[in-house]
Amino acid sequence: MGKYTRKIICTAAIIGFALGALTPALAFTGEGCAEGACSDCHSLSRQEASQLLKGMVQTVKSVEFSEVPGLWVAHVVDREREGLVYIDFSKKYVISGQVLHIANRENVTKAKMREFVRVDPTVIPLSDALLIGRKDAEKKVIVFTDPQCPYCKKLHSELKKVVQKDGNIAFFIKLFPLISIHPDSARISKSIVCSKSIKMLEDSFADKPVPDPVCETDIVEKNRALAKALGIRSTPTMVLPDGRVAAGAMGADEIIKMIYEKK
């Protein structure tokens, strides 16, 4: 099959995908791009993507073929926040949102974002962190949490399940209050830092009263400044041993899989 013929088939499949028609879309599983390399028919440079997305995002950091047939995935920055958008092979449509894999329900967009966004875990001080698990565990995960965040509460219970299943993993909890959402979180965070009390954090998650701080400390403010410098703006957010960043609550088994997967 010649290059020109493959290009026609690829284009036909894209049209079918855009219209949501099942039969033409199956061309991706037989002839066309799925048979060889889509780069034989299609290309999109970062510079070209920047022109296509001009006025929509500030910066295009990279572009590559998406695992979703007929799409590129672009790593972009807008208003100092990083994210992903998808561009179709016709270069006429941009898709913004979460892509889910039907078979295993994996959030493809979040998984890809973890590959793109990395920080250096060694720049994060752990002297103020609360510990779940063994201090000498090989796999050290840093967790930025807000003591009044319901999603942090959900993740916290899953972290405890993780260390029960795998003693080779430990979590270091950094207090990161989102004061614009939870005004009292700063006071509670300071109390927890002063007392270095995991129980106090769990009391806050359980909506129990937390006493005022028993010391003067600027650690919470430093945590907030560090999170901003690292591009962390939501809770809960985990920094994995290899520097990948995972935001949001998830189950224990998913966390373990994510920690050990090779990227």
Domain boundaries, the chain: 3-116, 121-260
Average pLDDT over residues 108-123: 86
Poorest-pLDDT segment among 97-101, 141-145, 147-151: 97-101
Q: How far apart are CA 6 and CA 8, in angstroms?
A: 5
The predicted model scores a pTM of: 0.70
Q: How confident is the model at residue 38 (pLDDT cuts 50, 70, 90)?
A: confident
Q: Which CATH superfamily is domain 121-260 in?
A: Glutaredoxin (3.40.30.10)
- Alpha carbon of 47 to those of 27, 39, 52, 61, 245: distances in Å? 30, 17, 9, 10, 27
DSSP of 190-235: HHHHHHT-HHHHHHHHTT---PPPSS---HHHHHHHHHHHHT--SS
Q: How far apart are CA 31 and CA 172, in angstroms?
A: 50
pLDDT tens digits along 167-185: 999 999 999 999 889 999 9
Return the percentage of the chain with pLDDT > 90, whole number.
69
pLDDT above 70: residue 67: yes
Residue scoring higher pLDDT (28 or 63): 63
pLDDT above 80: residue 37: no
